[in-house]
Structure 1
């Protein structure tokens, strides 16, 4: 993830540098002016702030910790000690059942294959995304997620095979971490710790 963020930031800096080099006011062969020195200053400042900007999405924020605390977690099954846990950006295999009240939104326990998601990618509702990095393979937890960390004030309209979720709905999310491709203990035992 860090590598991706740095590559995107470097690409943005390179694009800006190239774009500025073709700007009409900057392409003349005049002696250095305040404009060319301001371009140099801009580039120097950009290179100094690039690492800070690239790392800022990875820094924990006080609001993140407060949001995590607002998700009620009931541990129904605990993973064995030493079970691997996902890091942000890693692929995780989960099974889950989500509902509000008695209405089932989705049930992956009924499918032959688990649901694969990249941890922290935003592919799931925010309340679940906040909790997944705390789980290990074998954990099964029931999450009670407040509406603003789920579907919010707008809810979600009905779609093919999915019910409408009303505004302000608290979501109950029963989730089990069933695999972390590349981190499963059997695979690590077979090929050795890399």
Structure 2
């Protein structure tokens, strides 16, 4: 029982952090982080905001929905019905190949291990972050991402082993959801749902 309560509290804290950085209705809430503020003040302010945070998935976000619609999705492989899907904040294992034109930016299909990312954390380009929560284990989709949901007008300079991405580049991202640590059916069958 205590373990379940602690897991829910940790999940709510993670959700709070992610929600504050993404949802327009919540961006005005910023906790006091100066040296003069105490932990007690921070916690009191945070606890007053929790009812709004709990309802935030229900609040509409027109810009989010519009951005999701701008990513062209081609489903090359569909997961079986009932396959687990990630929630915001969960760790996901993906394989992907990203390119613009004929230039390959990255190819994780050629590596022995998948790429692990926290869904919604901003670790990947925005166009991919918007689509990952819609995928399930076993899905493989090709995403055509407009420039402003990828590297934008600045592009990206070349770095060690990575090519330069020009300004305004449309990115094609072939992504496969290969695992959700803690949600895979075999693990749930072995240890049970917490």
* Alignment TM class, shorter chain as reference: 0.7 to 0.9
Measured on the aligned residues, the alpha-carbon RMSD in Å equals 10.2
- Secondary structure at the aligned position of 1:105 is classed as strand
User: In the aligned structure 2, how far is the partner of 1:28 from the partner of 1:70?
Assistant: 26
Give the direction of change, closer, same or farther, for the CA distance of 1:34–1:59 in structure 2 (3 Å limit).
closer
Give the direction of change, closer, same or farther, for the CA distance of 1:6–1:151 in structure 2 (3 Å limit).
farther
Deviations 1:117-164 (A, max 9, x none): 000000000000000000000000000000000000000000000000
8 Å CA contact 1:76–1:140 kept in 2: the answer is yes
8 Å CA contact 2:15–2:89 kept in 1: the answer is no
Deviations 1:24-78 (A, max 9, x none): 9999999999999999999999975564378658844110000000000000000
8 Å CA contact 2:24–2:61 kept in 1: the answer is no
Which piece of structure 1 moves more, 45-54 or 58-67?
A: 45-54
8 Å CA contact 1:86–1:133 kept in 2: the answer is yes
User: In the aligned structure 2, how far is the partner of 1:132 from the partner of 1:30?
Assistant: 27
- Secondary structure at the aligned position of 1:35 is classed as coil
Give the direction of change, closer, same or farther, for the CA distance of 1:142–1:28 in structure 2 (3 Å limit).
closer
Aligned residues: 194
Alignment TM-score, normalising by the size of structure 2: 0.74
8 Å CA contact 2:18–2:121 kept in 1: the answer is no
The structural deviation recorded for 1:190 is: 1.5
Give the direction of change, closer, same or farther, for the CA distance of 1:161–1:24 in structure 2 (3 Å limit).
closer
